[in-house]
Structure 1
Amino acid sequence: MSALSSHLSHSQLAGWLVLATWGLYLLVLALGWPPYLPALASWLAIGYCWSALSRSARKQSAILFGLGVLMLAWGVLHGVGLDFYNAATRNLPLLSMFVAVSFLALTNPEQEDQSQPTGRKGFWSTILSCHLLGAAINLSIIFVVGDRLTRKNPLTDEQIRVLMRGFCAGAYWSPFFVAFGVAMTYAPGAQWTSTFLPGLIMAGLMFALTYFEASRGNLQAFRGYPLKRDSLVIPGLLAIVVLTLHSMYEQTNILTIISIIAPLGALLFLRGRPRRKVLVNYVEQRLAGVASQFSLFLAAGVFSTGVAAMIACYPSLFSFSATHLTPTLFWGISAIMILAGLIGVHPVVSVSLVAPLLMPLVSNMNQLAFLYLSVWGTATAVSPLSGVGLSMVSRYNASSRTILRQNWRYMLAMWLAAGGVNALLFG
């Protein structure tokens, strides 16, 4: 490792360790081995680029990790066994999927169409681009669309709203969103086929509300991004392949299927040549960029295991008076989680906290997964401190205050709608 380190920067080495996390996890899964090797690679990746992480990521990760360790230690002192295995490896399926999906950024559409649709057509072309393409290639589509729209003029408030909502609503239903991986990890047994319909309903409401707001303004002046049919081929094919394989191999975790198919799809539809050089450059220059999420997910696993230890110590203290996840409790928990996201708390932090508390109340894990997905899709779309919000503020000079002012009604409406969908479909 020392000889290798002398030829690679910490960031480059972290990129290879991130890649090793994905590869080793699939290997040990195939061989039936304990996942200690990928766990070691993931923790080493964080260690190598800790100083390069954003201040916010370091702070949240350190707090989560520290509190988790303290709670685990307290549990040991009070007779609860130290669940080191779960603390260190809990989120490995999620991390593997996250790395795999990140490679889809290499399939970004090559936009040669110089036209710029306006008015109603421009609105729908832009919001569908962010939503449908973002459902597969994730956050990078925001930069593809945003950079194109800012060639001549800065982004307008309306464009920022469309970009944020259109992209983030993919979290409601897309299996390629990291939100989906979190939901499946912290609601074990949940099925994507059962969360797809409520997710589509939420996405449909997003379209309707955003169009209604846009139509009340100067919609004819809206400058949009051209959506081409062939740009939908990649996300469409990936979705079909993943769902087909999942129906054929129902016992295989869908996160595992995505972890295998996404990189293969990225390799097949890779932009740029030679392929080897493009892939190596991606690993060494960009893959370390996921370390912030790595640190949060790993720390959240320790924190959630610590919370479970505290619940085991004091079961009566952490028990709800309710015997199941009632509609009122759903609304209350989701409101707290959304407000936490509004002030910059990453959704995975909120999920890791409430999951051990809600698990005993839920008989249908799909309901719990929908709670997490609805919170994620709403909170990230309205907060200037979410990953998307920070991108808007830092890259496109959006105003944090304007983002909040423009979206509070939308946040309230989607929160109420999620509770209604929950009551209607899950009881």
Structure 2
Amino acid sequence: MPAQDARNAHPASPTPRQVIAGVAILAGLIWQILLFTGADVTSLPVGYLLWFSVLLLWRDIPTRSRYQAGALIALGAGMLVAARLGYGAEVAWAWTLDGNTYVVAMLVGVSFISLIGTQSPGRSGTRLTGWHGILSTWFSVHLLGAILNLSTIFMVGDRLRSLGASRDGTPASLSEPQILALNRGLSSAAFWSPFFASMGVVMSLAPQMNFLWILALGIPLGALSGLLTCLELQRRFDLAATPGFAMSPANLLMPVAMASLVMLFHYGLTPGLSIVSIITFLLPAAALASNLPQGLRWTRRRIVEHTRRRLPSMRGEISLFLAAGLFTQGLSTLIAAVTGGEWVLFAHFGAPQAVASYAVIVASAIVGLHPIIGVSTLASMLDLEGSRYTLLAFVALASWGVGTAVGPLSGINLSLQGRYGVSGYRTMRLNAPYAAVMSLAVVAGIVLLDRLLA
């Protein structure tokens, strides 16, 4: 067995530090779920547990993500200190680590979906080539990724490599059309999926948003992404020998079932809970329910392995979201202190302001900033009411969907670069026409939504 295969077959055991961090993350999730029961407990431990895990895992965070998170932490803490010392602002120091813990708990909860079955696309899908293959690959990544998030990239990408393997079994390199189908299939799920990190952030920043309006515009944007990907790549590349991946009907069951359960709880069983809250407890509960028939020992082993390995591996996203939460708290506190709470970025948040905000967030993604930074900064500078929250939510999700596709340092593109050796900047250039067309559609959606909400 080659050395690389041997390492993959027998991955290194996590260190005690990583195991403790995984336990802290799991404890934070459990405490957050406890809050949903109405128990008379404070939410403070959630933030402390999650930040403690970041401290333990700090040295393991990829360098680029560590620099970005470190800068956000320093800026956020600095602005809180400046607001207190320079302007006498009241700062609830005990709660400064609470920002975005809601979202992080949801991300941790979503990770448990990997314990439902094998979560492998399998080999039952039909092999396709040409534009059929590209469209099928996009659709497979889009639908599975709407539930499983970033892990879908590796599941489908590795399967595509095996489809093109040489006779001696050496995996093929992914072609540019395949890379773009993976990139756009996943990033476009941010337009509408309630399971995506983008939706969790948006629901925490714009809790009064109308989710049905977001679905009404987000799903067509996602469909446009697939159609555009198919038409554009067929025109730009020779796809005759490009393998694609198609899901089998069995693979459709889990995404449809999970989405249906979320809607059932939200509109029927627990209407008082937000979708973020429902996802946070529902997916771990579904994972437990699917494993318990195999016995308590089997279930315990899978949860322990998930806690020891999978949860610490989320260090990059956990650190970035927590750091962005601290940055947002610092910025909003400093602005309120300097202006006496009277200043806002826009007196009215309508279509022109929304378009300008979208353009700035996508531009910042292109130069290397994660969209969460632009989205959080924008929300901290607005004072909205009523239907304007829905417009803000649409802008945030649209800028996330396009920004992560085209941004060379987004999590999606960094993952593709690390796993398959593609250039993030090459992907950015190839995605430029796609981003331009999608942006025109987003602008049209902003104008339409602004009129419908008026």
TM-score of the aligned structures, taking structure 2 as reference length:
0.87
Amino acid at match of 2:287: A
Pairing partner for 1:15 from 10, 15, 22? 22
Does the alignment pair 1:49 with 2:57? Answer: yes
- Aligned residues between the structures: 421
Does the alignment pair 1:73 with 2:78? Answer: no
Pairing partner for 1:220 from 236, 240, 246? 240
Amino acid at match of 1:315: T
CA separation of 1:417/1:405 partners in 2, compared to 1, >3 Å: closer, same or farther? same
Question: Could you say which residue in structure 1 is the equivalent of 2:361?
Answer: 337
* 1:72–1:82 CA contact under 8 A, matched in 2: yes
* 1:94–1:178 CA contact under 8 A, matched in 2: yes
SS where residue 414 of structure 1 aligns?
helix
Alignment gaps of 5+ in structure 2: 1-13, 166-171
CA separation of 1:240/1:53 partners in 2, compared to 1, >3 Å: closer, same or farther? same
Amino acid at match of 1:188: P
In 2: Cα distance, 1:211 partner to 1:350 partner = 30
SS where residue 314 of structure 1 aligns?
helix
Shift of residue 362, structure 1, vs aligned partner: 7.2
* 2:349–2:388 CA contact under 8 A, matched in 1: no
Amino acid at match of 1:212: L
* 1:323–1:361 CA contact under 8 A, matched in 2: no
User: Which 10-residue stretch deviates more, 206-215 or 262-271?
Assistant: 262-271
Identity of aligned residues (%): 31
CA separation of 1:18/1:322 partners in 2, compared to 1, >3 Å: closer, same or farther? closer
CA separation of 1:207/1:8 partners in 2, compared to 1, >3 Å: closer, same or farther? closer
Question: Could you say which residue in structure 2 is the equivalent of 1:124?
Answer: 135
Does the alignment pair 1:233 with 2:253? Answer: yes
Pairing partner for 2:103 from 70, 85, 94? 94
* 1:324–1:361 CA contact under 8 A, matched in 2: no
Shift of residue 74, structure 1, vs aligned partner: 1.6
* 1:105–1:138 CA contact under 8 A, matched in 2: no
Question: Could you say which residue in structure 2 is the equivalent of 1:202?
Answer: 221
Shift of residue 236, structure 1, vs aligned partner: 0.5
SS where residue 221 of structure 1 aligns?
coil
Alignment gaps of 5+ in structure 1: 1-6
Amino acid at match of 2:406: V
Shift of residue 254, structure 1, vs aligned partner: 1.5
In 2: Cα distance, 1:133 partner to 1:75 partner = 44
Equivalence map 1:14-413=2 (5 Å): 14-30=21-37, 31-77=39-85, 78-107=87-116, 108-109=119-120, 111-113=122-124, 115-151=126-162, 152=165, 153-216=172-235, 217-248=237-268, 249-269=270-290, 274-315=298-339, 319=343, 322-360=346-384, 363-413=387-437
Shift of residue 399, structure 1, vs aligned partner: 2.3
Shift of residue 63, structure 1, vs aligned partner: 1.2
In 1: Cα distance, 2:24 partner to 2:69 partner = 19
In 2: Cα distance, 1:324 partner to 1:415 partner = 22
CA separation of 1:69/1:318 partners in 2, compared to 1, >3 Å: closer, same or farther? farther
Q: CA RMSD in A?
A: 2.2
After superposition, what is the alpha-carbon deviation per residue over 1:2-40, rounded to whole angstroms, capped at 9, x for unaligned? xxxxx9611111111111110011113421422111121
User: Which 10-residue stretch deviates more, 176-185 or 402-411?
Assistant: 402-411
In 2: Cα distance, 1:103 partner to 1:426 partner = 37
CA separation of 1:8/1:397 partners in 2, compared to 1, >3 Å: closer, same or farther? closer
After superposition, what is the alpha-carbon deviation per residue over 1:339-383, rounded to whole angstroms, capped at 9, x for unaligned? 211222122222221111123487521111111110111111122
Shift of residue 335, structure 1, vs aligned partner: 1.2
In 2: Cα distance, 1:175 partner to 1:128 partner = 17
SS where residue 99 of structure 1 aligns?
helix
* 1:311–1:318 CA contact under 8 A, matched in 2: no
SS where residue 88 of structure 1 aligns?
coil
Amino acid at match of 1:52: D
* 2:124–2:247 CA contact under 8 A, matched in 1: no
SS where residue 219 of structure 1 aligns?
coil
In 2: Cα distance, 1:195 partner to 1:271 partner = 36
Amino acid at match of 2:246: P
In 2: Cα distance, 1:349 partner to 1:252 partner = 26
In 1: Cα distance, 2:253 partner to 2:175 partner = 29
* 1:75–1:309 CA contact under 8 A, matched in 2: yes
Amino acid at match of 2:178: Q
* 1:135–1:167 CA contact under 8 A, matched in 2: yes
SS where residue 224 of structure 1 aligns?
strand
SS where residue 335 of structure 2 aligns?
helix
SS where residue 358 of structure 1 aligns?
coil
After superposition, what is the alpha-carbon deviation per residue over 1:70-111, rounded to whole angstroms, capped at 9, x for unaligned? 111121121221033552213121111110001113341350
User: Which 10-residue stretch deviates more, 318-327 or 344-353?
Assistant: 318-327
CA separation of 1:125/1:138 partners in 2, compared to 1, >3 Å: closer, same or farther? same
